[in-house]
A and B are shown apart, each in its own frame.
Chain A
């Protein structure tokens, strides 16, 4: 359903990558690998539609992103490097505002359950400012269980997390893929993910 063909990205004087092509079908995950500076984040930003590619296309359900942006946005859940979490709001307030702004439904009970499963019980009403960096990341990750969207694009979802939280993310991705979803993510670490998946290496 996600089809990436012949993508090229040029930054200033040099070409980050060219000729990148892959497909992602329901029930699959794709691990994007590459050394630092190889353009993994740039590729993800092209897939999400922020950056137009210098060459090539990204198609979702057969249509390019330019043709059908709203349909794509409904089906996409993106977690980038930046957490999109506001320090002055509590975890619950953050998730509520985030859902409303994204046009998705929000149930406080679900949110509390999600935050608890991420080990944030008792911290859901404190301003996020007082949480540790790892805890803030977990607030952002709660979106994964709150919203149902077929395509997940995750930029370094495992970084700055302890082993328990990393397992949580891996399980979430596996479960999502089992249900027929798709996940495209980057990571430095070696993974033990269940389900049908593949790796794609971006050469520097």
Chain B
């Protein structure tokens, strides 16, 4: 537990001292959300309809941006080797890194989403469900993405490859996440969507770090 907390603290501290990386992903989210109305047209009814999908895709892509860096710095400076030799099991340390990643990318995205939702004319009820779906869904994105980041560690062309590997696996999260908001907007119950996201999150929380540490050990060979 001590190692877990220490690693989360370390990663958050490191990111805060290099603020630009955290802010870049957030700005990307804002820019992407702005591009769609510019590309499609400003009709309120259309924008309101496409908002859940667009905001979710934007969050997904912004999350993907910061994934490439999840392990690469530690891999290059030798910290990852030390983690692999720790008495704390590597999956626990991986979980700590993923939590730190979420605190620095997913959580800010979820909190920023309502502001962007205003641009699309979403009602408060829909905004609330959007934030809820993002709060449950973005940790899932971090967990799944971490496995991809570990598999492509140190590989030529890794960042693009990472997107190719991870985006298909993101699709269920996207479907249920934006589906929840759409359900709310249609006056239908959204609890099932959120519960499914929650169930996937639990599954990913158990198996993700374990798969991830297996992939990291392969990268360290």
Contact = CB atoms under 8 A, between A and B. Distances in A.
A34 interface: no
B77 A103 contact: no
A74 B220 CA distance: 19
A89 B5 CA distance: 17
Main secondary structure of the interface of B (DSSP, over half): helix
B77 A84 contact: yes
Contact of B78 (A52, A83, A89, A103): A83
Interface residues of A, number: 29
A52 B81 CA distance: 15
B88 interface: yes
Contacts of A59: none
Contacts of B93: 101
B3, B85, B86 interface centre (most CB from chain A within 10 Å)? B85
A70 B93 CA distance: 14
A102 B221 contact: no
Contact of A82 (B6, B7, B76): B76
A50 B221 contact: yes
Contacts of A100: 2-3, 5-7
A65 B82 CA distance: 16
Interface in B128-170: none
B221 to A, nearest CB: 5
B77 A102 contact: no
A125 interface: no
In this complex, the interface size class of chain B, counting residues with CB under 8 Å from chain A, is 20 to 34
A6 interface: no
A167 B88 CA distance: 33
Contacts of A51: 221
A50 B220 CA distance: 6
Contact of A86 (B9, B79, B86): B79
Interface in B68-90: 76-79, 81-88
A80 interface: yes
A82 B81 CA distance: 9
Given A84-B77, A103-B3, 10 more contacts: A52-B221, A74-B87, A78-B82, A82-B77, A89-B13, A100-B6, A101-B3, A102-B3, A102-B82, A103-B2
Interface of A: 48-52, 70, 73-74, 76, 78, 80-86, 88-89, 93, 96-98, 100-104, 127
